């Protein structure tokens, strides 16, 4: 059987650049070389696409920091009529964009692959864009009847022209602590737990540093449960896991740098909670029109028994510490088989669209 030429895109212009490099490296290490020929494509922070001189496997991080794409390599480009064929990379069968955050997880790069008629792993343009935008995702999830924490959307313009009114609305509709978040980012970047009204401004400024649209969300006292979803038309849910951050909340440090983070798989919560999470995961996946894979994150309020959807990640982390691959491993699908399944789903979706 001919090997599948799989382009792996990593790095990119988002603040989650380094996380993407670590994810890509793990995927490359796990792929079966008899089945896949990997074509690594590095995207620099400036947005240049390169066939890198050094593979991501050779990149080392200095001083505890995460690795970065190097701006050294041959430039490569997607051409609408030829995919990556004319780019010096040779023909590619499938693309796996392992890019978290804006310009990767948000539908932009997916649109490019649609134009180029290239099969790619994961959700399409609409689902990617919806899930990336926490404000829009909430509207769609609410329409599907999914439970979520109360929130307000704050455009930067409103805050600049009338901060008093925004503060009053927060006080009126929500109770402190609240969380301020950029609408379109991830990895907890720009997120603040705002405990008192006097630091709402600082929280919003931190969010606006990344996005002119912010959310202020009701803080909940809850455990954090996560569930993996895999499939196209008939998606399946994995076992449910719990993240136990050793920090005040699940911030960037806790996610990637802190060894005290604990992932509990399966989550030590009642069976009924786990089955509710799995069912809500599938509903959220379908409400947003996701394809391929996603990780759906929840808050489980033990005091009330309530389960709330927090967010849907259409390109979940694939680092060695990442929940998504661990959930599937616990569900009987080992890492290399998981990646192979994602590639199959990409090909299947591409064929179905063509019909």
Ligand X SMILES: Nc1ncnc2c1ncn2[C@@H]1O[C@H](COP(=O)(O)OP(=O)(O)O)[C@@H](O)[C@H]1O
CB of 47 to ligand X, least distance (A): 22
Rounded CA-CA distance 52/20 in Å is 15
- In three-state secondary structure terms, 231 is strand
- Pick out residues in 249-268 that bind ligand X (CB under 6 A): 249-250
- Min separation Cβ 140 and ligand X, Å: 16
Q: Which of residues 211-230 bind ligand X (CB under 6 A)?
A: 217-220, 224
CA neighbor of 167 nearest in space, from 202, 210, 207, 137: 202
Site for ligand X in 101-160 (CB under 6 A): 149
Cβ atoms of 56 and 21 within 8 Å: the answer is yes
Token pair of 213 as six digits: 């649209």
CB of 78 to ligand X, least distance (A): 27
User: Using CB under 6 A, which residues numbered 187 to 206 contact ligand X?
Assistant: 187-188, 191
In angstroms, give the least distance from the CB of 39 to ligand X: 29
Nearer to ligand X among residue 253 and residue 344 (C-beta): 253
Write down the least CB distance from residue 133 to ligand X, Å: 11
Question: Which class for 315: exposed (0-12), middle (13-18), buried (19 or more C-beta within 10 A)?
Answer: buried
Q: Is 230 helix (H, G, I), strand (E, B) or coil?
A: strand
Establish if 285 lies at the interface with ligand X (CB under 6 A): no
- Closer CB to ligand X, 315 or 345, in the complex: 315
Query: Which residue, chain included where needed, has tokens 């008939």?
Result: 234
Length reported for the chain: 355
Neighbour-count burial for 104-124, b at 16+ CB within 10 Å, e otherwise: bbbbbbbebbbebebbbbbbb
Using the minimum distance from each CB to ligand X, give the nearer residue, 94 or 183: 183
Return residues touching ligand X (CB under 6 A). Answer: 149, 179, 181, 186-188, 191, 217-220, 224, 249-250, 297, 310-311
């Amino acid at each position: 059987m001919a090997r599948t030429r799989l382009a792996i895109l990593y790095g990119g212009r988002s603040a989650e650049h380094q996380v993407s490099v670590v994810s890509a490296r793990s995927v490359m290490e796990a792929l079966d070389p008899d089945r896949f020929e990997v074509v690594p494509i590095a995207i620099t922070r400036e947005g240049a696409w390169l066939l890198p001189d050094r593979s991501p496997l050779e990149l080392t991080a200095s001083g505890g920091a995460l690795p970065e794409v190097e701006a050294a390599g041959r430039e490569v480009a997607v051409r609408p009529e030829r995919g990556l064929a004319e780019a010096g990379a040779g023909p590619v069968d499938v693309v796996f964009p392992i890019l978290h955050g804006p310009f990767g997880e948000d539908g932009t790069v997916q649109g490019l692959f649609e134009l180029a008629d290239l099969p790619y792993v994961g959700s399409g343009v609409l689902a990617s864009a919806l899930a990336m935008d926490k404000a829009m995702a909430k509207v769609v999830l609410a329409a599907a009847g999914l439970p979520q924490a109360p929130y307000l959307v704050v455009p930067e313009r409103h805050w600049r022209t009338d901060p008093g009114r925004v503060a009053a609305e927060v006080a009126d509709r929500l109770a402190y602590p609240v969380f301020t978040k950029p609408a379109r980012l991830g990895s907890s970047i720009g997120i603040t737990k705002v405990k008192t009204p006097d630091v709402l401004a600082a929280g919003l400024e931190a969010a606006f540093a990344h996005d002119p649209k912010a959310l202020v969300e009701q803080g909940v006292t809850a455990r954090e449960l996560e569930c993996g979803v895999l499939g196209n038309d008939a998606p399946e849910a994995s076992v449910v896991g719990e993240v136990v951050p050793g920090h005040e909340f699940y911030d960037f440090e806790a996610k990637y740098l802190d060894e005290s983070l604990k992932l509990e798989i399966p989550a030590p919560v009642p069976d009924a909670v786990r089955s509710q999470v799995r069912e809500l995961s599938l509903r959220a996946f379908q409400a947003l029109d996701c394809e391929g894979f996603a990780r759906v994150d929840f808050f489980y309020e033990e005091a009330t028994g309530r389960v709330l959807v927090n967010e849907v990640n259409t390109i979940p982390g694939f680092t060695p510490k990442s929940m998504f691959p661990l959930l599937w491993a616990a569900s009987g699908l080992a890492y290399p088989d998981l990646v192979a399944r994602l590639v199959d789903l990409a090909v299947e979706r591409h064929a179905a669209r063509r019909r």
